[in-house]
Structure 1
Amino acid sequence: MTLKLRIRVGPSYDPSTLTTILPNNDDNPFLLTSEHFIGHICIRIRDYNGVVLPGQQVRRTSPWFDGNNEQYSIQVHGRFKGDKWTGDDIVFGNDFDQPIRLPPGSWIGLKILQFIDPGLEADVYSPKPWAYSPFLVTMNAIRLTIDNSPSFPPWPSPNGEHIAESISLLDQLPSFPSARRRYFSNKENRERLKITEDQVWDLDFFNAYIDFDKFAVKLPGFEIGVMKYWDGQPLRYVCKSRDASAIFFVVVFELIEEDETSE
């Protein structure tokens, strides 16, 4: 059995709302419109060799990967709807529908991730495991602009350009990620930030830990092949409200049989 990686994006957990997208499609990101969010989403995967739909051609990589060791990127450019959220209300992370098998020493990996992301909370031994962090803390890069125009601002990365960190207009923060993460690790600072519809958020989440080409997890000092622990569940990233009353967007990485390419 040959397995292929498929990427789907949508506004909810419901599989019928998810759309298969082409990774590394820098110049044509997916447009997601829902009750709670509107924006573009581009998924990038180094050495991608997964599912493409009829009429599409595989894009193995993106200029975004030039000069770095990252393995994948989830870049978002959009607005949160409703004028009712604070910076503490919106979280981003993973969840699963069933228990997951974990390799020995997984707790070490979790401690490493929590050191990198001080906002990360997780219960990986739950019947429905999860790991979430405030989006203001977990994102690798954030740029915030104010735009009151009725038209949506253009996608900022048609050639794989990186987001330049810029969030200083909120609280006179220095424009580098470590200062932003430190500042928003404080719950009161997150609660003071009001999320409004005139804000346009550029977000990029990426890391070098998951190698989708080798189906391996790479952490400092060791590499783990995941296939012997894999139980068929997808890796799902979700941006949602902390109380789960609103889902903003969902990104699903899943392995399917090679001929199973239809929606």
Structure 2
Amino acid sequence: MHSPDDFRIRVTAGTDYDPATHVRVRVNDAEPLRLSGPGGDVWLNVRIKNHRGEHGDGAPPSSPYFDAEPHKKNDDTYGIGLWFVPKRESSDEDDDKDDQRQEEKGIAGSDLQWGNDFDEPLRDRLPPGFGAALRIVKWWIDPGLEGDPYADRPYLYGPALSSFNRVYAALGDESETKESREEKPVRDGCGLWFEEGGDAGGRAWRASIGCPDDDGKARMAWALGAAAKAQWTWQYGKGYGLDFYNGYLDFADLTLRLPGFHLALLRYYASEKAEKTCLRYVLRHRQTGRVYAVVVFSLVRVNAGEDEKDVDEDVDEADEVDEVDEDKIIEQARRSLSIHDEVHVEASDVD
């Protein structure tokens, strides 16, 4: 029988899907990792609470990030922080010779996506209660999510503007240099650290389009509307701080912990092919498919001497799990979330 002690989490990242181009991410390191691709430059910090890294990787078991608010109150278990500077690609050039207009162009608010995708089908490995879990996520946690987890290449994406917990816009002004516009906000010991809002230029611009300035949940709800996304542009050459965090996935004991619903994941995803079991986060362009950043959490087996028979027995046990009452799960989640400050948005409000 497998236990979480038999596995470790390996994190890698790159600017495309090819794992051969990815580099290892030192979890909980305060020094951001820089990635550079055709679509822009990205600086990255990955934090995991109670992290158990691979032998010899030197990764700290935690980060001061989790002791600071709002993470302490939220009991967050992981976070992905990105400093993103999109850049114009040669294929984006058009016949417009107006330099001022070109400088203002960028990625449309509806086109920059954040989410998960997979190379292989998951439909035969989705655990009991998955449908209820997905409803919880889409109704109360991230109503902007769209996708098909039952497809041959499953995916769940949401607009970055409504999916990231914090968005910081560093737009500066005309007197600033490119280097000053790209200066990354950091906190000692934590690495990248963003408050909701932006620098003076970013806050002024947000106010001009009606975007809530200092409340991430209000901005996330605002961004669900089509009119809001139409006003927002991720401008080329500007810096954006993006922080994604929650306490719903516990990497220490490999458990999904949604409101009113807990699920031990190991029995469904630990196998002789554990190295292929991964969770992939992607920052991408909705229309072109351009990938700006890929962050992969891989399950790595450290107890390599276990009998293959035990592995097969684990898989059989997963198949024998009793059916769950998804309506009951939803009701438990509804009661749990009623006492928490979660954003609940009706489907009719999402464009």
- Give the TM-score normalised by structure 1: 0.91
Contact 1:96 1:233 in 2 (8 A): no
Aligned to 2:20: 16
Structure 1 residue 91 and structure 2 residue 122: aligned? Answer: no
Higher strand share: 1
The SS at the match of 1:59 is: coil
Indicate which of 136, 141, 144 corresponds to 2:166: 141
Does 2:81 match 1:78?
A: no
Question: Is the 8 Å Cα contact of residues 40 and 155 (structure 1) preserved in structure 2?
Answer: no
**Aligned positions of 1:1-263 closer than 5 A:** 2-26=6-30, 28-51=31-54, 56-66=57-67, 67-68=72-73, 69-82=75-88, 83-100=105-122, 101-115=125-139, 116-147=141-172, 148-151=176-179, 152-160=182-190, 162-166=193-197, 168=203, 169-170=205-206, 171-174=209-212, 175-230=214-269, 232-258=276-302
- 2: CA distance, partners of 1:158 / 1:16: 32
- CA displacement at 1:244 relative to structure 2: 4.2
In the TM superposition, what is the alpha-carbon distance from 1:219 to its structure 2 partner? 1.1
CA RMSD of superposed structures (Å): 2.0
| Amino acid paired to 2:65 | W
8 Å Cα contact 2:165/2:220 also seen in 1: no
- The answer as to whether partners of 1:37 and 1:249 remain within 8 angstroms in 2 is no
Query: How many angstroms apart in 2 are the aligned matches of 1:238 and 1:5?
Result: 18
Does the CA contact (< 8 Å) of 1:44 and 1:73 recur in 2?
yes
Equivalent-residue separation in structure 1 for 2:121 and 2:234 (angstroms): 34
CA deviations on 1:12-58 (whole Å, 9 max, x unpaired) are 100111101111002x1101111112121000000011226x5x523
- Tell me the secondary structure at the aligned position of residue 131 of structure 2: helix
2-side partners of 1:77 and 1:23: how far apart?
16
Question: In terms of mean alpha carbon deviation, does 208-217 or 56-65 score higher?
Answer: 56-65
The one-letter code sitting in structure 2 at the alignment partner of 1:5 is I
SS at match of 1:229: helix
User: Tell me, what secondary structure is at the counterpart of 2:227?
Assistant: helix
The separation in 1 between residues aligned to 2:77 and 2:165, in whole angstroms, is 13
Instruction: List alignment gaps of at least 5 residues for structure 1.
Output: none
How far apart, in 2, do the equivalents of 1:105 and 1:122 lie?
Answer: 18
Larger mean Cα displacement after TM superposition, 128-137 or 103-112: 103-112
Sort the Cα spacing of 1:212 and 1:111 in 2 relative to 1 into closer, same or farther, 3 A. same
In structure 2, distance between residues paired with 1:18 and 1:173: 35
CA distance 1:248–1:21, change in 2 (3 Å) = same
**Aligned pair count?**
257
Q: Which has the larger radius of gyration?
A: 2
Question: Greater share of helix residues, 1 or 2?
Answer: 2
CA deviations on 1:126-145 (whole Å, 9 max, x unpaired) are: 11111000000000111111
CA deviations on 1:82-103 (whole Å, 9 max, x unpaired) are 2441111110000011111111
**Structure-2 separation of matches of 1:18 and 1:34:** 12
Match for 1:110: what amino acid? L
